[in-house]
């Protein structure tokens, strides 16, 4: 009797103390050096509000998304989770699993500060806002190693064509001209970058936006596939898997360059490389300077615990505050979602990105245009294409047309 009273008292104390500092489990897939440093900024800012950030990081976007979705649909929601905003979350919203945060967005005036406004549109379903965009990530970058080109006595290329031209010299010197991780999303990502940069934007929008199979079968897209075949030859000796391992090949000068999104910048920063001196970044492969406006956003599942709901609101508002935006994006190498903050401390590459953002040289990200099903099929196609040099560009294009004609 006495013991059970003690036990009850102890339980009450534990319950009371957990109410004052709410623990919020936040899931994300930011695990590489630069990414972990960036997410730490969010965690620190959130902890400073008196709440506790419980970090639940899962390496690899694909496996992380699978875990998140199964936890949500299985009725075991976390406090908040990172997602690429766009069509991936559509069905979760339709099923009523995600919290409507329109009230927070209105209180914080997100409509006026989020730039470009398409970011918030991607979070909006039927006029209601369901996610907090935290950064802008663009895929369309070519990262070039100065060391690799110095080693073979060539000048650093300024666009894709020069880069392809120099590839033989790099290969002869025993270097990998193009570093590429052997994962479908990286390979199809590189293809989409070439697609965005090497042909006019109308073609890109007709194929991915309108799902026009005729355009997908046309000569412009054939040019992109020819470029992808070049990239395949250049990446033939690249056996790494993870994108950051591939970036490391560029950092150490073992590879000439890598097509990768601006998150690669965080890796260069961790390795203390200086933009313009140790490496160059070429937006739009240096051919058509434009940026895709993909990015990361945080979604908040519907919860029943009031303390947790309050903590969610606090976190959502916090993520778009100017100080957090600056701290987070400088570490992450991405662009902030608000145009009204000072980023003069940003480096060369980020300044290029900011300038393009200001000019409005923008393109919607594939995540906003395609369903995960279509994206997955395209990833598989390029996994095959890059692994097997016997698949011709024309055959791959035929498969691509089939995928586009089936896409919703």
Partner 1 sequence: MASTRPNQLFRNKSAKIAAIPMIVTALFVFVGGTAWTIVYSFTSSGLLPRLKWVGLDQYERLWDTRKWLVSIENLAIYGLSMLVLVFVIGFILAALLDQKIRFENTIRTVILYPYALSFVVTGLVWQWILNPEFGVQNIVRGWGWETFTFDPLYNAEIAIFGILIAGLWQGSGLVMVLMLAGLRGIDQDVWKAARVDGIPAWKTYLFIVIPMMRPVFITTLVLVVTGIVKIYDLIVAQTGGGPGIATEVPAKYVYDMMFQANNLGQGFAASTMMLVTVALVVIPWAFLEFGGSKNRG
Minimum CB–partner distance for residue 113 and partner 1 (Å): 31
95 counts as binding partner 1 under rule CB under 8 A: yes
Nearer to partner 1, 89 or 129 (CB): 89
208 counts as binding partner 1 under rule CB under 8 A: no
Q: Which of residues 237-266 bind partner 1 (CB under 8 A)?
A: 239, 241
Minimum CB–partner distance for residue 125 and partner 1 (Å): 14
Partnered with residue 292 across adjacent β-strands are 363
Minimum CB–partner distance for residue 388 and partner 1 (Å): 5
62 counts as binding partner 1 under rule CB under 8 A: yes
Q: Which of residues 337-376 bind partner 1 (CB under 8 A)?
A: 371-373, 375-376
Which region, left, alpha or beta, applies to residue 126 given φ > 0 means left and ψ of -120 to 50 means alpha?
Answer: left
Nearer to partner 1, 21 or 66 (CB): 66
383 counts as binding partner 1 under rule CB under 8 A: yes
386 counts as binding partner 1 under rule CB under 8 A: yes
Nearer to partner 1, 254 or 372 (CB): 372
- Look at residues 260, 37, 241 and name the one whose alpha carbon lies nearest to residue 145: 260
Number of residues engaging partner 1 in binding (CB under 8 A)? 28
Q: Which of residues 25-44 bind partner 1 (CB under 8 A)?
A: none
Euclidean distance between CA atoms 100 and 112, whole angstroms = 19
Residues in the chain: 408
Euclidean distance between CA atoms 323 and 310, whole angstroms = 21
Minimum CB–partner distance for residue 65 and partner 1 (Å): 7
Run of H or E including 72: helix 61-73
Nearer to partner 1, 54 or 398 (CB): 398
59 counts as binding partner 1 under rule CB under 8 A: no
Nearer to partner 1, 192 or 374 (CB): 374
| Given 70, 117, 155, 351, the residue binding partner 1 (CB under 8 A) | 70
Euclidean distance between CA atoms 54 and 20, whole angstroms = 15
Distance in angstroms between the alpha carbons of the first and the last residue of the chain = 65
Residue 238 to residues 38, 161, 241, 269: CA-CA distances in angstroms?
28, 20, 9, 23
Query: Taking contact as CB under 8 A, which single stretch among the options 34-42, 201-209, 265-273, 381-389 is the one that binds partner 1?
Result: 381-389
Minimum CB–partner distance for residue 384 and partner 1 (Å): 5
Euclidean distance between CA atoms 391 and 393, whole angstroms = 7
- Residues 6 or more apart whose CB falls under 8 angstroms from that of 195 comprise 203, 204, 207, 221, 224
| Given 28, 65, 99, 137, the residue binding partner 1 (CB under 8 A) | 65
Residue 385's Cα: distance from chain center in Å?
A: 23
Binding mask 181-200 for partner 1 (x = CB under 8 A): -xx-----------------
Euclidean distance between CA atoms 28 and 68, whole angstroms = 9
Residue 365's Cα: distance from chain center in Å?
A: 10
69 counts as binding partner 1 under rule CB under 8 A: yes
Minimum CB–partner distance for residue 235 and partner 1 (Å): 13
Nearer to partner 1, 348 or 399 (CB): 399
Spatial contact of 403 and 381, defined as CB atoms under 8 Å apart: yes
Residue 229 to residues 28, 163, 188, 287: CA-CA distances in angstroms?
34, 14, 12, 18
| Given 92, 119, 227, 228, the residue binding partner 1 (CB under 8 A) | 92
Query: Taking contact as CB under 8 A, which single stretch among the options 33-41, 88-96, 131-139, 358-366 is the one that binds partner 1?
Result: 88-96
405 counts as binding partner 1 under rule CB under 8 A: no
Alpha-carbon Rg for the chain, nearest whole angstrom, is 23
392 counts as binding partner 1 under rule CB under 8 A: no
Spatial contact of 134 and 332, defined as CB atoms under 8 Å apart: no
DSSP label at 209?
Answer: I
Residues 346-362 as b/e (b if ≥16 CB within 10 A, e otherwise) read bbebbebbbebbeeebb
| Given 215, 377, 396, 404, the residue binding partner 1 (CB under 8 A) | 377
DSSP label at 273?
Answer: -
Minimum CB–partner distance for residue 292 and partner 1 (Å): 21
Residues interacting with partner 1, by CB under 8 A? Answer: 62, 65-66, 69-70, 73, 88, 91-92, 95, 182-183, 239, 241, 371-373, 375-377, 380, 383-384, 386-388, 399, 406
């Amino acid at each position: 009797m006495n013991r059970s009273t003690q036990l009850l008292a102890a339980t009450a104390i534990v319950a009371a103390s957990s109410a004052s500092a709410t623990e919020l489990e936040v899931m994300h897939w930011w695990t590489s050096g630069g990414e972990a440093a960036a997410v730490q900024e969010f965690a620190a800012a959130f902890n400073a509000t008196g709440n506790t950030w419980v970090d639940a990081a899962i390496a690899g976007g694909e496996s992380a998304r699978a875990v998140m979705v199964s936890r949500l649909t299985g009725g075991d929601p976390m406090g908040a989770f990172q997602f690429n905003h766009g069509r991936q979350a559509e069905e979760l919203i339709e099923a009523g699993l995600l919290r409507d945060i329109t009230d927070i967005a209105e209180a914080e005036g997100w409509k006026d500060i989020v730039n470009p406004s398409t970011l918030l549109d991607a979070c909006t379903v039927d006029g209601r806002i369901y996610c907090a965009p935290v950064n802008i990530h663009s895929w369309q970058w070519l990262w070039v190693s100065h060391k690799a080109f110095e080693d073979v006595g060539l000048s650093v290329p300024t666009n894709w064509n020069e880069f392809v031209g120099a590839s033989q010299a790099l290969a002869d010197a025993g270097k990998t001209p193009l570093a590429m991780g052997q994962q479908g999303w990286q390979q199809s990502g590189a293809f989409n970058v070439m697609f965005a940069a090497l042909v006019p934007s109308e073609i890109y929008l007709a194929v991915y936006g309108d799902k026009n199979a005729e355009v997908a079968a046309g000569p412009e897209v054939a040019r992109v596939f020819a470029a992808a075949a070049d990239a395949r030859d250049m990446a033939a000796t690249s056996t790494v898997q993870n994108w950051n391992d591939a970036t490391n090949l560029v950092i150490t000068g073992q590879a000439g360059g890598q097509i990768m999104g601006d998150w690669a910048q965080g890796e260069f920063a961790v390795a203390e490389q200086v933009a313009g001196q140790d490496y160059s970044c070429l937006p739009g492969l240096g051919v058509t300077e434009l940026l895709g406006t993909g990015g990361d956003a945080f979604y908040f599942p519907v919860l029943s615990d009031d303390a947790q709901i309050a903590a969610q609101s606090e976190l959502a508002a916090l993520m778009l505050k100017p100080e957090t935006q600056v701290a987070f994006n400088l570490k992450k190498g991405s662009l902030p979602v608000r145009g009204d903050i000072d980023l003069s401390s940003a480096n060369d590459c980020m300044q290029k990105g900011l300038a393009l953002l200001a000019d409005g040289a923008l393109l919607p990200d594939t995540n906003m245009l395609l369903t995960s099903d279509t994206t997955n099929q395209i990833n598989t196609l390029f996994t095959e294409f890059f692994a097997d040099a016997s698949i011709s560009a024309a055959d791959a294009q035929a498969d691509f047309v089939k995928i586009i004609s089936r896409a919703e």
